């Protein structure tokens, strides 16, 4: 019998944990409908001082689906969501599913060239975006396309555009996020909430979705080349939502913090779908600002979240962070990059929570294996270090050698030589970094994952 057939990993499962998962739902829309049916009055979205119930999201997404249908969006068509973490993203996602359409989440940091690539590759029929993104990016791109100056090998089929504002729904207008925000509707471009109001009370024709139908076309970050659209089926989304609920142990109605970008697969499954399967509220704050997020965790009594380690480092280093902010958080998960144990220990000591992560990455220096996380852990024990990343760089003699790039805490000061000596005193000779670079900010993706390839130069 092979090791795979023996399944030795089953011995590590918790007592009573099933060895297999039987999918409860066929598709992601069924998960949402089940939540709306059993908990219509329960909160589905918290957005600053606004709360939308599952019944309200159901009604709003019905109306938007009818509006999309009137614009030629039918089963199999693509609906691009060029939005921050706002309620309209969730409403647009569900509306697309109600038509049997495919959602195309788009990074709101994308500029014209990047947006064009996604629109051309996906063949999006409709683009829902912020008013600010329409003014800054979309209108210029479309004007260039109409003038034959789009820059592509062939003309872009321009999608219908619907705009919306991050100021909608909420009334707090927190200056930490919205100081520069303003309404800027464009002539001839419909507003999402106006369209919803126009079709309020109407419902689209029912659709039957299968596990093999594509729910979302999620584009890679392009770290190894041109971004590629990954087809996520309804069965995939439904299964993984159930994994979150059953294996992490999320409870019915337990608030989930949407700290990862919703355009990213972590946000789409670990936040949106996980909230739906638990009929739980999804707590949104437009984009990440540590002080705002801390207040959201405390005020909305968040119980679970998953995000990059840089998110938790930022929260831990916020001057106003206290145990009270994290009192209701029962489960915190992180992925995308390994977490130095010292960060976990500091977080646990300050807030009483343990962060679960994954292990990855290895450097081979002179034939010896060096795990970046071990070196990073030593660097994080230095009182001046705020963030650290360790990478392998080419070395004529050793093949690869260890390079460390760090940023410092406010008002902290230390030299590269001092950090190298710090590591040398605490590690085997083949492990300590031969190169130490201090920079203001480590380069990251919008999800907070450190861009290690940019540190190898």
Question: pLDDT tens across 48-76, in order?
Answer: 999 999 999 999 999 999 999 999 999 99
Percent of the chain having pLDDT more than 90? 75
Q: Helices 372-380 & 341-351, crossing angle to 10 degrees?
A: 40
Phi, psi of 119 (to 5 degrees): -65, -40
Q: Where are the domains of the chain?
A: 28-277, 363-455
Q: From 3.40.50.150, 3.40.50.980, 3.40.50.1400, 3.40.50.300, which CATH number describes the 28-277 domain?
A: 3.40.50.980
Instruction: Please give the structure tokens belonging to residue 326.
Output: 């994290």
Residues in Cβ contact with 397 at an 8 Å cutoff, skipping those fewer than 6 apart: 366
Better-predicted residue by pLDDT, 168 or 395: 168
Range with lowest mean pLDDT among 86-90, 102-106, 375-379, 444-448: 444-448
Residues 129-163 have pLDDT tens digits of 999 999 999 999 999 999 888 777 788 999 999 99
**86, pLDDT greater than 90:** yes
CATH 3.30.300.30 fits 363-455, yes or no: yes
Average pLDDT of every residue of the chain: 92
Residues 221-267 have pLDDT tens digits of 765 567 889 999 999 999 999 999 999 999 999 999 999 999 999 99
In the chain, the largest separation of any two C-alpha atoms, in whole Å, equals 71
**What is the H or E stretch that residue 70 is in?**
helix 54-70
pLDDT for 158 equals 95
DSSP 308: -
pLDDT for 353 equals 87
- E strand map for 158-213: 160-164
């Amino acid at each position: 019998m092979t090791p795979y057939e023996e399944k030795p990993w089953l011995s590590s499962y918790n007592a009573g944990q099933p060895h297999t998962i039987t999918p409860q739902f066929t598709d992601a829309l069924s998960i949402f409908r089940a939540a709306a049916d059993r908990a219509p009055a329960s909160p589905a979205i918290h957005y600053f001082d606004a709360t939308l119930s599952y019944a309200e999201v159901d009604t709003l997404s019905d109306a938007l689906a009818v509006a999309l249908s009137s614009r030629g969006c039918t089963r199999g068509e693509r609906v691009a969501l060029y939005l921050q973490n706002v309620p309209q993203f969730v409403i647009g996602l569900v509306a697309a599913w109600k038509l049997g359409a495919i959602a195309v989440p788009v990074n709101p940091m994308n500029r014209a060239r990047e947006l064009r690539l996604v629109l051309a590759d996906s063949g999006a029929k409709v683009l829902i975006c912020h008013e600010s993104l329409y003014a800054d990016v979309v209108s210029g791109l479309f004007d260039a396309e109409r003038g034959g100056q789009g820059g592509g090998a062939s003309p872009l089929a321009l999608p219908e555009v619907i705009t919306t504002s991050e100021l909608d729904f909420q009334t707090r207008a927190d200056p930490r996020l919205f100081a520069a925000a303003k309404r800027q509707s464009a002539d001839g471009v419909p507003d999402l909430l106006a369209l919803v109001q126009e079709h309020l009370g109407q419902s689209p024709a029912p659709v039957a979705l299968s596990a093999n139908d594509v729910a979302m076309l999620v584009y890679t970050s392009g770290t190894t080349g041109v971004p590629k659209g990954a087809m996520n089926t309804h069965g995939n989304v439904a299964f993984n939502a159930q994994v979150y609920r059953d294996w992490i142990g999320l409870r019915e109605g337990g608030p989930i913090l949407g700290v990862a970008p919703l355009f990213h697969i972590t946000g789409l499954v670990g936040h949106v779908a996980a909230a739906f399967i638990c009929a739980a509220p999804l707590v949104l704050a437009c984009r990440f600002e540590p002080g705002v997020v801390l207040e959201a965790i405390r005020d909305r009594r968040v119980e679970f979240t998953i995000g990059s380690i840089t998110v938790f480092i930022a929260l831990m280093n916020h001057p106003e962070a206290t145990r009270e902010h994290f009192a209701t958080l029962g489960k915190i998960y992180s992925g995308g990059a390994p977490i130095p144990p010292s960060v976990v220990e500091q977080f646990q000591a300050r807030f009483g929570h343990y962060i679960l992560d994954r292990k990855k990455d290895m450097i081979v220096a002179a034939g010896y294996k060096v795990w970046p996380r071990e070196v990073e852990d030593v660097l994080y024990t230095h009182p001046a270090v705020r963030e650290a990343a360790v990478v392998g760089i080419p070395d004529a003699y050793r093949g690869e050698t260890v390079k460390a790039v760090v940023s410092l805490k406010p008002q902290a000061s230390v030299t590269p030589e001092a950090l190298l000596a710090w590591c040398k005193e605490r590690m085997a000779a083949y492990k300590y970094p031969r190169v130490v670079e201090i920079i203001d900010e480590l380069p990251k993706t919008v999800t907070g994952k450190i861009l290690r390839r940019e540190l190898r130069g």
